[in-house]
Each structure stands twice: as structure tokens, then as C-alpha cells.
Amino acid sequence: MNSAEPSVHVLILAGGAGTRFWPASRAARPKQLLPLLGGEPLLTATARRVLPLCARGGGASAGWERVWIATGEHLVAPTRAALPEVPARRLLVEPTPRNTAPCIGWAAATIAREDPGAVVVVLPSDHHIADVPRFLEVLEAAVASALDGAITTIGIRPTHPETGFGYIETEEATGAGPASPRKVLRFVEKPNRERAAEFVASGRFLWNAGMFIFRAGDMTAAIRAHLPALADGLDEIDRAAAQGAEAEAEAVMRVFPRLPAVSIDHGVMEHVGGLAVVPGDFGWSDLGSWQSAWELAGKDDQGNSAPDGTVLVDARDNHVVDLRARPEGGAEVRRVIALVGVEGLVVVETDDALLVVPRDRAQDVKHVVDALKARGHGRLT
């Protein structure tokens, strides 16, 4: 890369409650901190796959110095454990959750102070990407679009009429081919099945994956135009930062709780002019439920995904997850998980909870969390 090339900073959004992956995920251990597909936590995988992008332009600050994590106070310790390479000063710790616009605006302003010409790539922390080289190609195209002055997003080419995602309508068809930006006409909230089928058939709609790319200054200007109350609060933090780290930290604690709680989609993206989208097809999944985890997991010839030692008799298409702590030292004594004559189930066991749910109702797991809280069992959530 040319040393004069503008640098790229990556902001990873790593908050969340993790209700759809209960009992594995809890308030203190949300989805992004879990190795749901084996290996490393999703947050760790997210950061590692984009590290080459952060090396653009070279220089001493390339790499981990350009990775930023937005998270909550209660998640600082596990987040640092998942990504020890990220400097502590790159964690933007929100004293209270205020949705995505405040944390993205805060990050854009902070990065702009340090690196005024930087491009910022905003990514969720808990998605799965199967084709990383292709993903990086799409991000490079989005960075180029941002350098041309367009706030840019990534849209996923839909494979079926999904009702659980928002959609982005583009000016032209988004067929397969080289990644190139298209003009965004509008964002559409989660549609019913009939509308989703119409969107997919038209060829002009993409799934909204929650990825945004922009020059830091362009985002701060857009927030000033469309969310003036947020801009005023960020200005107050900015003024305090000029007085030193301690003053900045105090300002964040004072200002952040009164910032408007609004998503970047509703607050900025739906109103800004000249918005662009780069279509992508790189094996994306938002890992929205245990059903998604089963779809991506390795399976036996009966469609079961289960750990070694699971007994499966006349069982098909089940997803078994054993997250019990392993005893230290000595012979390992563990209860055996056995499934007989069942199909299409999710079975998840932890040290303090057991979940059994049909895969086609995996989205309803969040209601278990609601019921536990209502019964006063918040420690289990």
C-alpha cells in the first residue's frame, strides 16, 4: 500500500444482551463472546478477519492500533480477554446503552481528532463470514466509495424471502459480478413474507447487514445535520478531550446517558443524501438463533450436530451443545446426553440450565429470558 493512502479504522460494535442464545449467552457473556461455531469467540474472529484492512497506509499505528471496540462497562473484562491485542485506549466504554448512533458518532469524532482523513468501517461483532477474501474485496470497494465522499453500507444479496432482516432498495439490479457501489433509494423495515418475496424477485433489494463505511468527518457532519442534539453532546465530549483523558472520561459519564437513544439507521442512514451500497455475497450469516448455528455447524450423516460422547439413537437433524465446565484434574465424570427417536431439536446444557426447544422455534428462546426475569431469577439471564 502507498504510505500516503488514507488509513482505515475499524469500529466493532460489541454490546448486546444475547437473549437468543440462552443459556449459553447471558447479560455478562453475550453472543459475541462465545465460540458458537467452535474455536475462538465471534468477536475475536471479527477483529482478526479485518486486520489486513487496518494495515492500509502502513506506519507505526497500522494493525491493532486501528481496531476500536464499542462495548458496555460490564463487558470490559471479557472483551479484553477475547482481544488482548487491542490497546485498552481503543475501547469505547459506554456508561449506559444508547443504541448505535451515539456510539458510532462518538467513535467517528474520536478517530477524527487523531486521524482526520481516516475512513471508519463499522461492523457488528457477532456475524459469521464464510469467504473472508471475498468479504475483504467488498470492504475495499466500500472504502473506495467512502473516499469518494459517499457514506456507504454493505448489502447482502438475498437468497430467500427472509422476514427477519431489513432491506435496502437500490437504483439498479444487484446481480452477481464485481463489487461496485449502487445508489440507495430507501431502507425498508422487516417486511411480511409476501413483500419479502416481491423484494427478492425484483432484484433491486439487499439485506441490511448493519455494516457502515464512511470518512470520519462525513459521519460527524451527517450527525450534525440530522441529529443535532447528539452532535451537541459529542461536541461537549470533544471539548473535554482537549483538556485531557481524565476530563474526557468525566464528560462521557456525564453526557452519554442524556444522548438520544437512536439507531444509526433511523437517525442518519434513512435521511442522508448520496448514500451508497456495495452488494456482497461472501457466505454471511447474522447468527440470529440456535437454528443459524445448526445450519453452519458440521453434522453427521443424519444431520445431527453434537459433541463427542453424545448418544444418538434414531435421531435426526438435532443440534446438541454441551457447555458444562470440565472438572480440573483426575478422571472426567460427566453426565451423558442421549437423544432417542427425536428430530429437529436444540439441546443446550450448561452448569445451571438446560434448554430443549424445536429448531423451528429457536427464535422464541428470548421469551425464556423474559420469564426468568419475571420470576426473579435474573442471575440466570
Q: What is the pLDDT of residue 58?
A: 66
Q: What is the pLDDT of residue 1?
A: 40
**Whether 327 and 224 share a structural domain:** no
Does the N-terminal peptide bond of residue 161 adopt cis geometry, omega within 30 degrees of 0? no
Pairing label, strands 67-72, 338-340: unpaired
* Same-domain status, 204 and 261: yes
**Rounded distance between C-alpha atoms, residue 47 and residue 68, angstroms:** 9
Residue at which a domain ends, from 262, 285, 308: 285
Q: What is the pLDDT of residue 175?
A: 63
Identify whether 53 is part of a domain. Answer: yes
Label each residue of the chain as H, E or C: CCCCCCCEEEEEECCCCCHHHCCCCECCECHHHCCCCCCCCHHHHHHHHHHHHHCCCCCCCCHHHHEEEEEEHHHHHHHHHHCCCCCHHHEEEECCCCCHHHHHHHHHHHHHHHCCCCEEEEEECCCEECCHHHHHHHHHHHHHHHHCCCCEEEEECCCCCCCCCCEEEECCCCCCCCCCCEEEEEEECCCCHHHHHHHHHHCCEEEEEEEEEEEHHHHHHHHHHHCHHHHHHHHHHHHHHCCCHHHHHHHHHHHHHHCCCCCHHHHHHCCCCCCEEEEECCCEECCCCHHHHHHHCCCCCCCCECCCCCEEECCECCEEEECCCCCCCCCCCCCCCEEECCECEEEEECCCCEEEEEHHHHHHHHHHHHHHHHCCCHHHC
Q: Is residue 1 part of a domain?
A: no
Shared domain check, 117 and 155: yes
| Residue span of the structural domain in which 324 resides | 290-380
* pLDDT attached to residue 9: 97
144: domain CATH number?
A: 3.90.550.10
Residues 220 and 333 in one domain: no
Four-residue CA torsion sign, 206, 212, 215, 220: positive
- Same domain as 358, residue 272: no
Packing angle, helices 42-54 and 132-147, rounded to 10: 50
Provide the number of structural domains found in the chain: 2
Digit-coded pLDDT (tens) for 93-140? 999 999 999 999 999 999 999 999 999 999 999 999 999 999 999 999
Among 257, 285, 313, residue at a domain's last position: 285
C-alpha cell at 224: 450534525
Residue 4: Cβ-neighbour burial (10 angstroms; 0-12, 13-18, 19+): exposed
278 shares its domain with 295:
no
Q: Is residue 105 part of a domain?
A: yes
Domain match, 93 and 16 both: yes
The pLDDT of residue 326: 74
If asked whether residues 26 and 148 sit together in one domain, one would say: yes
Please indicate, yes or no, if residue 30 is contained in any of the structural domains: yes
Which residues, 6 or more positions from 145, have their beta carbon under 8 angstroms from its beta carbon?
A: 152, 181, 213, 276, 278
Residues 6+ apart with CB under 8 A from 358: 344, 345, 346
pLDDT of residue 2: 43
Residue 132 lies in a domain: yes
Asked whether residue 18 is assigned to any structural domain, the reply reads yes
Q: Are residues 209 and 244 in the same domain?
A: yes
Beta bridge partners of 154: 278
Both 38 and 111 in a single domain? yes
Q: Can you tell me the distance from the alpha carbon of 184 to that of 152, in angstroms, rounded to the nearest whole number? A: 9
Cell numbers at residue 152, please? Answer: 456507504
Report pLDDT for 81: 97
Let me know: does 112 contact 9? Beta carbons within 8 Å.
no
In a domain? residue 20: yes
Q: Is residue 3 part of a domain?
A: no
Cα–Cα dist 377/371, whole Å: 9
* Region for residue 99 given its phi and psi (left: phi exceeds 0; alpha: psi -120 to 50; beta: otherwise): left
Strand ranges of the sheet holding 354-358, from the earlier edge strand across to the other edge: 319-322, 345-349, 354-358
Domain stop point among 285, 313, 336 = 285
Residues 44 and 185 in one domain: yes
Q: What is the pLDDT along the chain (381 residues), one digit of tens a residue?
A: 444 678 999 999 998 777 899 999 999 999 999 999 888 999 999 999 999 999 876 665 579 999 999 999 999 999 999 999 999 999 999 999 999 999 999 999 999 999 999 999 999 999 999 999 999 999 999 999 999 999 999 999 999 999 999 999 998 876 656 678 999 999 999 999 999 999 999 999 999 999 999 999 999 999 999 999 999 999 999 999 999 999 999 999 999 999 999 999 999 999 999 999 999 999 999 999 999 999 999 999 999 999 999 999 999 999 999 988 876 655 556 789 999 999 999 999 999 999 999 999 999 999 999 999 999 998 999
Within this chain, do residues 320 and 337 fall inside the same structural domain, yes or no? yes
Closest listed residue to residue 167, CA positions, set 206, 194, 200: 206
